[in-house]
Homo-oligomer: A and B are copies of this chain.
Amino acid sequence: MTAASKPASLPLTERQEARRRRILHASAQLASRGGFEAVQMREVAESSGVALGTLYRYFPSKVHLLVATMQDQLQRLHETLRKRPPTEEEPSARVAQTLMRAFRAMQREPHLAEAMVRALTFADRSVSPEVDTVSRLTTAIILDAMGLPGSPTPAQLSAVRVIEHTWHSALITWLSGRASIAQVKIDIETVCRLIDLTNPN
């Protein structure tokens, strides 16, 4: 609910909506093949059948485009996860399980993951709103995974923030070949223990 669809800032027509989708699809396609550097604006424009200028009207920069692509992918992931919630009991284990699932999804499309995550962390202030949307989506996924009865406490929100930080940074170290899959798993499990800390407190 928080940041689902376009907030009606612009009531896109059908044709425009279709264009937007074609662009995002082309972006993901190219990213899947060759990662960040393979997503070239002229290529995206051509393979989505749109003029370069139009592409820039929809996404003011390559980073905007890739961050939007990430929003898109995250939304799908979120839905998938909703259908099959984690099976663990403890909130910390549930979150770890969920993140490991997401991680496995990324392992299936490492180039796409690389493109999106690189864009996300390279984004400067001009992309803040979009990056923030991604962040809220991620937070929503984690909170969902925790399966809390009520609304989260401030301490829990802090823990979630830190988990997100770790998640992004661990992904980067994996994508750049500086950490193994096993290492990422350990890191995720390590941070998730922070959640336990917020319970009896």
Interface, chain A (partner B; CB < 8 A): 36, 118, 121-125, 127-128, 131-132, 135, 158-159, 161-162, 164-166, 168-170, 172-173, 176-178, 183, 186-187, 190-191, 193-194, 197
Chain B residues contacting A193 (CB-CB under 8 Å) are: 194, 197
Of A164, A165, A173, A197, chain B has the most CB atoms within 10 Å of the CB of: A165
Known: A121-B121, A128-B178. 20 other contacts (CB 8 A): A36-B124, A118-B122, A118-B124, A121-B122, A122-B122, A125-B177, A131-B176, A131-B178, A135-B178, A159-B190, A161-B190, A162-B166, A162-B190, A165-B165, A165-B166, A165-B170, A165-B173, A168-B169, A190-B194, A191-B194
Chain B CB within 10 A, most for which of A118, A135, A173: A173
Residue among A186, A187, A190, A194 with the most chain B CB within 10 A?
A190
Q: Which residue of B lies closest to A197 (CB)?
A: B193
A-B contact pairs, 16 of them (CB 8 A): A121-B122, A122-B122, A123-B176, A124-B176, A125-B176, A125-B177, A128-B178, A158-B187, A159-B190, A161-B187, A162-B166, A162-B191, A164-B169, A165-B166, A166-B169, A168-B169
Task: State A123–B190 Cα separation when bound (angstroms).
Answer: 25
Known: A128-B177, A178-B132. A190 touches B118 (CB 8 A): no
Residues of chain B within 8 A (CB-CB) of A132 are: 178
Contacts of A164 in B (CB 8 A): 169
When distances are taken between beta carbons in the complex, the residues of chain B under 8 Å from A186 are 158
Set of chain B residues within 8 Å of A194, measured between Cβ atoms:
190-191, 193-194
Name the residue of chain B whose CB is nearest to the CB of A165.
B169
A178 to B131, CA, bound (A): 9
